[in-house]
Amino acid sequence: MDELALKYGCNPNQKPARVFMEDGALPFKVLNGKPGYINLLDALNSWQLVSELKEATGLPAAASFKHVSPAGAAVAVPLSSTLEKVYFVEGIELSPIAAAYVRARGADRMSSYGDFVALSDECDAQTAAFLKREVSDGVIAPSYSDEALSLLKEKRKGTYLVLQMDPAYQPAPIERKQVFGVWFEQQRNDVKITEDCLKDIPTKAKNIPSDARRDLLLALITLKYTQSNSVCYAKDGQAVGIGAGQQSRVHCTRLAGNKADNWFLRQCPAVLQLPFRDDVSRPDRDNAIDVYVTGAGDELLKDGEWQRLFTRKPDFFSSEQKAAWFSRMKGFSLASDAFFPFGDNIERAARSGVSYIAQSGGSIRDDNVIETCDKYGIAMAMTHIRLFHH
């Protein structure tokens, strides 16, 4: 039996704690740091996500995980000059795996604060340098360059968790877990998410272009490793809004839609031109931008507060400015881990520029959902695959 002792379980009072394999060796090596229980839950879930993204798209992939759900996921699509500024990488030529990581981390930076990172490809020195500057608990990847490993071993006073995953590892087809002394057993969810899932399009709009198909696959695979109920908005090769663990699906759609809206608002010239002081850290900038774009700008611009952040007092971000910018929000993709029971989900999605949807179908109100898609000219594919994850 191969086993690894952990600091504690989910909480400090839950001792002892360990992970182990009854047969064979653990499929990962600890290259630095000491893993915790939640670290490894995040690592093993996020590794599956990026591996499947790489397989489905052929592109290097990265994920940012927090509390067993992704805060961000992305594949290696080049960044626009606007996103370079939004993600604090202006003028830097990015390697493919670095581009995937920067996208995954940048979509919802507040949720990614203190995350666990997964990389589908070798961690190079550039990606390690970006990791080193962020608040993060650890990373899992199939390999590390010598320079990358050296950089990561310096992070968090030498305690940063670095895991090397065996990419050839294949788990047993049956998985088990115990809850309250009771064993649960099931077939692993090894369903493949491919473009074949997007062939059944019952809406009047039928065309889903290649970029949107890529984004729908990304969103579906992301949801496969997101606590249910869950909904994911995607654009340009990355998740831009994830709603996880909500009891009501429309609440997932609203939560994820609000995150997608904030992601889009961060690209508005009024936000890009905020005159931050040079000594303001990235986390403080993220917090200030979040306040600025979500309607509390009057609090941010109060006398005495703005001087701490800005070289001059910025203009108030008006609802009229936001509405004008939102009018450009188009071409987004949306996936759901199960069927939409009501058309209200589509109504909310349309407000955030969704043009393409993938969902399982199978609701008694499918006709209403299709009709609502037709109202907005949305092309919707029914995958006939449910992706609950618990």
Strands (E) in 44-181, as ranges, are 61-66, 69-75, 115-119, 136-141, 161-165, 174-179
Number of neighbours of residue 326 by Cβ within 10 angstroms: 16
Q: How many residues does the chain have?
A: 390
Sign of the four-CA dihedral 220, 222, 228, 232: negative
Token pair belonging to 89: 């990488």
Of 329, 362, 139, 371, residue with least CA distance to 233 = 329
Helix, coil or strand: residue 18:
strand
Distance CA 334, CA 353 (A): 10
Any idea which residues carry the catalytic annotation?
Answer: 66-67, 229, 390
Question: How many Cα atoms occupy the beta-carbon half-sphere of 268 within 13 Å?
Answer: 27
310: which DSSP letter?
A: B
Distance CA 181, CA 248 (A): 29
Q: Give the Å distances, CA to CA, from 227 to 26, 45, 111, 192, 337.
A: 25, 11, 15, 18, 10
Instruction: List residues bridging with 3 in a β-sheet.
Output: 20
313: which DSSP letter?
A: P
CB 322 within 8 A of CB 269: no
Distance CA 118, CA 3 (A): 22
Counting Cβ atoms within 10 Å, is residue 73 exposed (0-12), middle (13-18) or buried (19+)? buried
Distance CA 281, CA 117 (A): 21
Distance CA 169, CA 165 (A): 8
